[in-house]
Amino acid sequence: MGVGATMTADKELLHEVASLLVEALNLETAPEDIDPQAPLYGDGLGLDSIDMLEVSLVVSKRYGVQLRSDDENNDKIFASLAALTEHIAAHRTT
């Protein structure tokens, strides 16, 4: 698989994860309107801790990636849509 194919797969996964967030949280934002670099928590997309718990559950169900509230890397994992997607790509089992 060449670099171009990897970037396409990453874009597809990014859109898939954005769609998952919109659907799971009933956001009034289109998946393609979510800035991949904008913070998910607080400013940016404006998610709160309950939203993050819901995101963790749907990511676990969909991709087999366990996201735990006591993970010391959560600030990095949930920093943005791009960071969350990168984490899912690296750890997914499905």
pLDDT band, residue 8 (cuts 50/70/90)? low
Write the pLDDT tens digit of every residue in 73-82. Answer: 999 999 999 9
- Please report the pLDDT score of residue 43 as a whole number: 83
CATH number, domain containing residue 15: 1.10.1200.10
Is residue 13 within 8 Å of residue 76, measured between CB atoms? no
Helix axes 49-63, 3-25, angle to 10 degrees: 130
- Please report the pLDDT score of residue 69 as a whole number: 85
In this structure, what token pair is assigned to residue 33?
A: 């309107």
Counting the structural domains of the chain, the total is 1
Cβ contacts of residue 85 below 8 Å, gap of 6+?
Answer: 10, 13, 14, 17, 36
- Please report the pLDDT score of residue 60 as a whole number: 96
Give me the mean pLDDT over the 42-53 stretch: 89
Range of the domain at 82: 3-91
Give me the mean pLDDT over the 44-66 stretch: 93
Give me the mean pLDDT over the 48-63 stretch: 94
DSSP string of the chain, one letter each residue: --HHHHHHHHHHHHHHHHHHHHHHHT-SS-GGGS-TTS-SBSTTT-B-HHHHHHHHHHHHHHH-----TT-TTHHHHTS-HHHHHHHHHHH---
